[in-house]
Structure 1
């Protein structure tokens, strides 16, 4: 652990947690889903989630020093695979791999497999299958399921994800791929993730502790309520509607509050361009295979960015339709 510098200049050091006020000319980057909105929750827990690592700990590449090296070029034969596009348009014969993203990115919809043939393998990407984003209607019970630390708790910087795999042969191949492509996963990151996930579990089991998922669900619901209020008053924008469903985690009916808003502008309007003119960076619909009237907007930014986004969005008038059109 590093303490403050013991010199006369220590008082002039910058406070990294201090938030600067956004000026009207500042750019708000809502293009990517960087989950910094959960920072206040983890900050108030203080040392409860701290992991201390000495300089002599975990210096080896390997957790198991008996593992062997194998050349990546001998293992990764990418010529065996090629991208085939949207599963709804897939009409080829033979083996395939279908990736099912549920809730879907960018629109937050719950998805199921589409192709459904015997010669196929399914991978379910469940990065956003957490109570703050969607009702947990049933246990996830697929052959290969991918999860990520970043979207579950907000700790994107640790770069940790995990998979639940039923087939031992497939699981061993996945482990081997990680081994030869990166010589394993950072031990420090694994320790931090284990510590934080332990705190999350404790919060779910102990009524005296604040439940992270209840906190984050309320936060996402509040953001969606504010955004819908702005969009409702607008004559330019619209948002998807999500039905209320019974959530087994919270034991109540809730609607989805996706990490991204799938915003739609009036027809023939370049939504990404319109928002960019107001210094709001988003990801246009054409990058997701749909029209330019759509834009994906991250709702995971810090509070000041989100509030400034709402203020700018509410100020966009119908007379500005020409901005960003082609």
Structure 2
């Protein structure tokens, strides 16, 4: 989710978006080269009804979108789909809210506590408390939470620091929602097929199509899936069919690139492109931080990637950058003074000497960011 207060334009003289919004424009270069593989024409008479598949729990989900989601997960091997309900939402943020609604008892004496291990995604507390719901409320860092009833948000790889996360709480009355937006081969080795009760994904970070505003959930329990669907129904009366069909076309194009049996073996392989870009960008960032001497980054980690069938490094979509200068306590403020906007660590429940930096901007903007960072002493 972008920070609306940090929506600015980027040019060669004044970087205003690098490090802030996470807008995945890096992927534009890939999709420009794919020709008509992801193009779609929707006739004027199509997608006019509210309904898509009345026999499905998620009755407004286009069957083709369901099919392509399952196909892509089977191709990548990052999540189990057999025995799961696929739900569609207007981005994964809507499905995150739907999960909070579905998991919170309506007859509880107190709102259900929502927690996540710090540093946690900055939008978790903001979205949880936005409507001041009587069903749930933000309760902070999972590591300091005391109680048996809760909803734990587990983001893995984690936004903002890229760490691989597991739930830290364990209680019969507690529930977990796994946000796997970044569990794709361009960012991290695919070490296992995730099979959690609720898993959230989005096209924003998987393919770069943030503007399509489509996310999906894989949900084991039918009643939870039904309640999540009811939330989306009451919230937006379904999800844009046009966006669903475009997302299905895009996801299909990604799978086609790896479908050797179907004659695919296409040169247009999104995850290969993304991996090359992320490896190069992380190399540049580590060199810039070393040249500066004023910043540090988390140590590089790696693992056996079952998708690529090789050892691969973890190259997160965001960098968790620390300012090591003794005279700087507010890293975001320091960088802002040098025309680099970032999100401060305090927005993630962490020390303000840390900032989150986006690794997904266009090449020209990223190159200027690296140049500016390296020049800071």
Distance 1:25 1:152, change over 3 A: closer
Decide which of 266, 276, 288 is 1:230's aligned counterpart.
Answer: 288
Deviations 1:252-288 (A, max 9, x none): 1111100001100014512111110111110011111
TM-score (ref. length: structure 1)? 0.85
5+ unaligned residues in a row in structure 2: which ranges?
Answer: 1-8, 61-97, 107-132
Please name the residue that 2:111 is paired with. Answer: none
Decide which of 142, 146, 151 is 1:91's aligned counterpart.
Answer: 146
Q: Is 1:221 the counterpart of 2:279 in the alignment?
A: yes
Shift in Å, 1:23: 3.7
Shift in Å, 1:303: 0.6
Q: Secondary structure at the match of 1:56?
A: coil
For 1:16-35, what aligned pairs fall within 5 Å after superposition? 22-35=11-24
Please name the residue that 2:43 is paired with. Answer: 54
Decide which of 105, 112, 130 is 2:184's aligned counterpart.
Answer: 130
Please name the residue that 1:41 is paired with. Answer: 30
TM-score (ref. length: structure 2)? 0.74
Shift in Å, 1:122: 1.0
Aligned residues of 1:28 and 1:279 also touching (Cα < 8 A): no
Q: Is 1:179 the counterpart of 2:250 in the alignment?
A: no
For 1:1-326, what aligned pairs fall within 5 Å after superposition? 22-63=11-52, 78-93=133-148, 95-205=149-259, 206-266=264-324, 267-269=326-328, 270-317=330-377
Q: Secondary structure at the match of 1:297?
A: strand
Aligned residues of 1:144 and 1:163 also touching (Cα < 8 A): yes
RMSD: 2.3
Aligned residues: 293
Shift in Å, 1:65: 7.7
Aligned residues of 2:34 and 2:268 also touching (Cα < 8 A): no
CA–CA separation in structure 2 for the residues paired with 1:268 and 1:207: 54
Deviations 1:189-221 (A, max 9, x none): 100011111111110123243321111111111
Q: Secondary structure at the match of 1:164?
A: strand
Name which one, 1 or 2, has greater alpha-carbon Rg: 1
Shift in Å, 1:60: 2.6
CA–CA separation in structure 1 for the residues paired with 2:327 and 2:43: 59
Deviations 1:111-164 (A, max 9, x none): 101111111111100000001111111111111101111100000001101011
Aligned residues of 2:288 and 2:373 also touching (Cα < 8 A): yes
CA–CA separation in structure 2 for the residues paired with 1:198 and 1:306: 29
CA–CA separation in structure 2 for the residues paired with 1:212 and 1:50: 16
Distance 1:224 1:29, change over 3 A: closer
